[in-house]
Structure formats: C-alpha cells, structure tokens
A and B are shown apart, each in its own frame.
Chain A
Amino acid sequence: MADYVIDERVDITDVVCPMTFVKAKVAMEELEIGQVLAITMNDGEPVQNVPRSFKEEGQQILKLIDNENGTYDLIVKKLED
C-alpha cells in the first residue's frame, strides 16, 4: 500500500484549531506539485477536520496512519498551488 515517498514532514500537535490547518497549509505551500507531505496531528478535532480541509483545497489524501500514541500522520500529495 505504501506507494508514496514522503518529501516533507510537519508536526501540528503543538497548535490548536484553527492554527492546525494554517500550519499544515503553510507547510504545504513550500512543496512543489506532486510532492508528498506527512502531517502529524492530534486525535480529536484535528484528525476530524484537517483531512477534509485538504480535500476542499484540492489536494490528494493518500493515507491516514494511526501512530497509536494519540497522534496520526496524514499523508497528502500536492495537486494544486
């Protein structure tokens, strides 16, 4: 299943909504189209909302990985600037 290579990582577990998505989005802006970002986020509101926000921005969600420590890694491929 892991048919992607992570180009960059960002940790958004140190911020709360709405800064979670802002921080993730800023990190995404640094990437080139086609590159893949891994975003580490907390359980709860971030994991409920951040994936959908990226979908609405036109990016491609590849995977949500449960780190089994109360955090998740969301793997997103950049499709749009």
Chain B
Amino acid sequence: MAVDYGALKKGGFMRQKQKNNFSLRLQVVGGTLTAENLKIIAEVAEKYGDGHVHLTSRQGVEIPFIKLDDIDEVKEELAKGDCHPGVCGPRVRTVTACQGSEICPSGNIDSYKIALELDKRYFARELPHKFKFGVTGCQNNCLKAEENDVGIKGAQIVNWKKEDCIMCGVCEKACREGAITIQNGNITLDEQKCNNCGRCVKSCPTDAWEGTPGFMVSFGGTFGNHISEGKSLLPVITSEEQLYRVTDAAIQFFDDYANPGERFKFTIDRVGVDKLEKVLKEAYNG
C-alpha cells in the first residue's frame, strides 16, 4: 500500500531525508511540558528514535528517526505520558507563548492561559494555509508576536492617581518612551507616546500608577520565505471575551478569503486591509 505522506504530515509525522524515517512533532502549547511529558518523550526517543529530540523554532518538540512501522505503537506509548502528535501543513499550528505574568515580573498578561484557550479553540483547524498564533506578555516581546499570523501582546492602559503619588520621580525615568513628564507637582502622560508597556505601573513605589491589563493584537506577520511584520489594526483590547471575538473574526476572514497556499499577509494585501479592518472593528465593538 502506498504511504499517505500527506496524512502523516497532518498528524505530525514529518518525512525525513532517510527513507521510512519520520520526525514526530508533538503538540506543545506555549512551550510548556510537564515532567511526565518529558519522561515519556525521553523513553520514546530512546526506544523508537535514535535517542535525541529536536526543539523546534516555535517551542515544539520533535522526536526524529521514528520508523514507519512503529507509528501506531509510538502514538500509544506517548499517550501514556499525556503526549500527543502535533500538526503540520495548512492548518492552525503550535500556539506559542512566553511565561507571562504568572512567572515573569515583566508580564502584563497570563500568556500561557491565553495560549491554552487559543489552542483549545483553533489548534489543527483546517485552513487554506498554515496559521500561527503567538502570545507575548509585554513590550519586551520575548515571544516575537509580530512574526505570527495573529500575534498577541500584553499591555497596560495606565492612569495616574495624584492622591497616591509621592513625586519620587521614578516613573519619569522608568518610561522609555518619554511619555511621562513631572512638572510643578503634577504628572502628565502623553498618550501619543505611551506604548502601554506598563513600566510606570511596575516601578511605582506607591502604586500611584494603576494599570488595566489588555491585549495588543497584530495581523499578517510572516517570517519564512517572505518576511513581514504583523500590523496592529485595533486599539488595546481590554477583555478576553473581546479578544476571542477578534481572533474568531481574523481566522474566519482568512478561511473565507484566502486562496489555497496563501499566507494571511498576502490575503490581506490582495483583499484589502480596509476590508479586514472593518471586520475586526465589528468584532472589537461586539
């Protein structure tokens, strides 16, 4: 019987140069694996592979040198450690994320939680071409949000409370955008300059800067054969509900308008950013 490489690729088995050998891609969300996952991965790599694993550029794990005949057995073994094959091809890929606000002092949002929800909603959804989500917790952008078809970045909408301020001067220096000016016992925020990084909130010793966490979303990033930065088309999103309305709208737009084999960026360019913007704004406003 002929080998259906397409079906294997869809199921995370990537054909290698070496005949009948496959690099098995696993489903990983936000680069997070449990010790239990790692143990079974190590066991499978030793028993069925050649004893090594590859960490992919998008926080995934692949176990190379899996033999064609062992594929079903390998899947069963991995399931014992709660590991499952990932995907490749024209569908929603691994959702990447930084550690976010649960771990990182700089995080404005719980990136991993958002990544889990995106994975639950969209992972492996069939589309005209590959579709990547990435979630980063703050402006440091460790997760490189704008590389993704849809990138999500944690933000803070900030507000100064005069009554709690001791005029220490820390926020004016902590702000890297020059958006904060202290003069004559008053602080002004230049909202045009503010990039919602939240450094004033994080550094203020008396919590006189209050921050409302939010999401900045970019659309149409791609970093392969063509390189293009995802564009921000909306104001800061302030609730998860609103965020998922927007991601639902973006992925549906791609599904509706993309030609087979066309990345989101090129669909946007061809169909028109105005059209996408209209759809996104409707979703944003609910």
A: residues with CB less than 8 A from B are 1, 43, 47-48, 51-52, 55-56, 60-66, 72, 74
Answer yes or no: B174 CB below 8 A from chain A CBs. yes
Q: Which residues of chain B are near A52, meaning CB under 8 Å? A: 170, 174, 199, 202-203
Per-position 1/0 for B198-209, Cβ under 8 A of A: 010011110000
Contact, CB under 8 Å: B205 / A60: yes
**Contacting residues, chain A, for B203 (C-beta < 8 A):** 51-52, 55
List residues of B (169-184) whose CB comes within 8 Å of A's CBs.
169-170, 173-174, 176
CB-based contact B174/A62 at 8 Å: no
User: How far is it, in angstroms, between the C-alpha of A64 and the C-alpha of B168 when the chains are bound?
Assistant: 5
CB pair B170 A1 closer than 8 Å: no
B174 contact set on A, CB distance < 8 A: 48, 51-52
A63 to B169, CA, bound (A): 7
- B contact face: mostly helix, strand, loop, or mixed: loop
- If A48-B176, A51-B205, A55-B205 touch, whether A66 touches B169 (CB-CB below 8 Å) is yes
Known contacts: A52-B202, A52-B203, A55-B205. The answer to whether A64 contacts B166 by CB under 8 A is no
Question: Taking beta carbons and an 8 Å cutoff, which residues of B are in contact with A?
Answer: 105, 166-170, 173-174, 176, 199, 202-205
Whether A61 pairs with B105 at a CB distance below 8 angstroms is no
- Residues in B with CB closer than 8 Å to A64 are 168-170, 173
CB of B184, distance to nearest CB on chain A (Å): 14
How far does the Cβ of B138 sit from chain A's closest Cβ, in whole Å? 13
CA distance A66 to B167 in the complex (A): 13
- Contact (Cβ within 8 A) B173 A62: no
B193 to chain A, nearest CB (A): 16
Min CB gap B202→A, angstroms: 6
Report how far A72 CA is from B174 CA in the complex, Å: 13
Minimum CB–CB distance from A57 to chain B (whole Å) comes to: 11
CB-contact partner of A51 in B105, B167, B170, under 8 A: B170
A61 to B203: give the CA distance in the assembly, Å.
10
**Residues of chain A contacted by B166 (CB below 8 angstroms):** 62-63
A42 to chain B, nearest CB (A): 11
| Cα distance, A61 to B173, chains bound together (Å) | 14
14 contacts between A and B (CB under 8 A): A43-B173, A48-B199, A51-B174, A52-B170, A52-B174, A52-B202, A55-B202, A60-B205, A62-B166, A63-B168, A64-B168, A64-B173, A65-B169, A66-B169
- Closest Cβ–Cβ distance, residue A34 to chain B (whole Å): 16
Q: Report the nearest A residue to B172, measured CB to CB.
A: A64
* Additional pairs, 12, CB under 8 Å, beyond known A48-B176, A52-B174: A47-B173, A48-B173, A48-B174, A48-B199, A52-B202, A62-B168, A63-B166, A63-B168, A63-B169, A64-B170, A64-B173, A74-B170
